[in-house]
């Protein structure tokens, strides 16, 4: 019951601790007879080897540390839990424990770095973490890590697992065009990140491939806030600009806000304005009308990140960029024209 050690098992079985260790780790050097006897004693006593000793000996913690960016507005934290579930599921299979840390804007790197230096994990998964100084610290000290769903600049040496936003953007725009829309606007984050540029390019490329013109007035480069999309729409209407028949938004959080603003202006959705976005956050299913969106497997984001990290930790080859493909999920925010 209470605090057994490998020595107790050894004594009960009449063997050395080495023999017990061999049995525990399925190593050769023990006769079948002894092996069975030791196993029986382990089973009957319920002995489980102390994990800290094991970690100390092996110089590995068998733990993955998940660092999550905590957004002030809950709508931006939407799929962190699903990513964590995917991480956990994959870690469970591979025998890793999972620990986590939240960080936010006003965050001090030292406590986390100390924890890493103390060897508390074999590697890290950074979810939506963009802090370049932290990332370069990890790189300098060659600590294995993977960025997941992180809007960081892709540099050749940054392992990423993320949604294929170019594809999402391209497919969504194509979808709107195929539904008969020709006046298609774009609302997305304007911070100069490669990811945002890729997303924008998806829109541009789809418009070009369909022979449609992009009206600069319909392109909303906005900041990452819960009201920016609505503000953009308001400025469009207030400025008496012609409003396009459809908008592609780079995230459901933007769509939800756009929907709200448009309805406030008396627009009926989708009769007067069609909306497509990306993410399929839970909210998008429950707004009125439910949003058509590019959906993807959020758990896979986490699971893939673990797989990549596992390869890094073991010194195996790994893909520098892993893309999760989104697919269109048709609901009721798009009107078919003609």
Which parts of this chain interact with DNA (CB under 7 A)? Answer: 3-7, 14-22, 24-25, 27-34, 47, 49-50, 53-54, 56-59
Interaction partner, residue 7 (its own copies, DNA, none; CB < 5-8 Å by kind): DNA
Q: Toward its own copies, which CB reaches closer, 146 or 287? A: 287
In the three-class reduction of DSSP (H, G, I as helix; E, B as strand; rest coil), residue 329 is classed as strand
Q: Toward its own copies, which CB reaches closer, 18 or 50? A: 50
Least CB distance from residue 89 to DNA, whole Å? 26
By the rule CB under 8 A, 268 interacts with its own copies: no
C-alpha gyration radius of the chain: 26
Site map 202..241 versus its own copies, x via CB under 8 A: ----------------------------------------
CB 135 within 8 A of CB 153: no
Residue pointed to by tokens 């990332």: 135
Q: Which of residues 51-70 bind its own copies (CB under 8 A)?
A: 51-56, 61, 63, 70
Interaction partner, residue 30 (its own copies, DNA, none; CB < 5-8 Å by kind): DNA
Q: Toward its own copies, which CB reaches closer, 95 or 211? A: 95
Q: Which of 170, 319, 314, 321 is nearest to 248 (CA)?
A: 170
Least CB distance from residue 67 to DNA, whole Å? 23
Site map 90..129 versus its own copies, x via CB under 8 A: --x----xxxxxx--------x--xx-xxxx---------
| Separation CA 97–CA 88 (nearest Å) | 8
Compute the Cα dihedral for 289, 172, 242, 188 and give only its sign. positive
Give 254: exposed, middle or buried? Use CB within 10 Å, 0-12, 13-18, 19+.
Answer: buried
Helices 17-24, 32-45: crossing angle, 10 deg rounding = 80
Token output for 163: 């949604």
Determine how β-strand 160-163 pairs with β-strand 184-189: unpaired
Q: Toward DNA, which CB reaches closer, 96 or 203? A: 96
| Separation CA 183–CA 200 (nearest Å) | 16
Least CB distance from residue 91 to DNA, whole Å? 20
Task: Name 189's bridge partners.
Answer: 222
Interaction partner, residue 120 (DNA, its own copies, none; CB < 5-8 Å by kind): its own copies
**Which H or E run contains 145?**
strand 145-148
Q: Toward its own copies, which CB reaches closer, 114 or 209? A: 114
| Separation CA 46–CA 12 (nearest Å) | 13
Least CB distance from residue 123 to DNA, whole Å? 18
* Residues near its own copies, by CB under 8 A: 1, 46, 48-56, 61, 63, 70, 74-75, 77-78, 80-82, 84-85, 88-89, 92, 97-102, 111, 114-115, 117-120, 141, 256, 260, 282-283, 286-288
């Amino acid at each position: 019951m209470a605090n057994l050690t490998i020595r107790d098992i050894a004594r009960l079985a009449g063997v050395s601790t080495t023999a017990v260790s061999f049995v525990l780790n399925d190593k050769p050097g023990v006769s079948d007879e002894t092996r069975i006897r030791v196993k029986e004693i382990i089973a009957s006593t319920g002995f489980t080897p102390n994990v800290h000793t094991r970690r100390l000996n092996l110089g590995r913690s068998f733990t993955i540390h998940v660092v999550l960016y905590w957004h002030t507005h809950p709508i931006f934290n939407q799929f962190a839990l699903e990513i964590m579930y995917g991480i956990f599921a994959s870690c469970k299979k591979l025998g890793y424990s999972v620990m986590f840390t939240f960080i936010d804007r006003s965050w001090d790197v030292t406590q986390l770095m100390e924890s890493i230096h103390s060897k508390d994990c074999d590697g890290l998964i950074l979810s939506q973490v963009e802090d370049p100084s932290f990332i370069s610290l990890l790189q300098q000290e060659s600590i294995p890590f993977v960025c997941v769903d992180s809007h960081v600049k892709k540099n050749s040496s940054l392992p990423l697992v993320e949604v294929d936003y170019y594809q999402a953007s391209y497919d969504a725009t194509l979808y709107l065009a195929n539904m008969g829309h020709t006046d298609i606007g774009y609302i997305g984050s304007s911070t100069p990140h490669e990811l945002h540029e890729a997303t924008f390019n998806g829109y541009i490329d789809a418009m070009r491939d369909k022979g449609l013109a992009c009206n600069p007035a319909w392109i909303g480069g906005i900041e990452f806030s819960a009201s920016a999309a609505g503000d953009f729409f308001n400025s469009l209407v207030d400025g008496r600009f012609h409003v396009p028949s459809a908008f592609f938004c780079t995230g459901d959080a933007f769509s939800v806000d756009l929907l709200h603003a448009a309805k406030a202006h008396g627009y009926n959705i989708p009769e007067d304005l069609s909306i497509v976005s990306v993410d399929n956050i839970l909210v998008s299913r429950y707004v009125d009308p439910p949003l058509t969106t590019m959906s993807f497997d959020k758990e896979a984001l986490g699971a893939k990140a673990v797989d990549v990290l596992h390869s890094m930790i073991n010194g195996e080859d790994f893909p520098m960029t892993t893309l999760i493909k989104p697919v269109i999920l048709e609901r009721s925010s798009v009107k078919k024209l003609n």
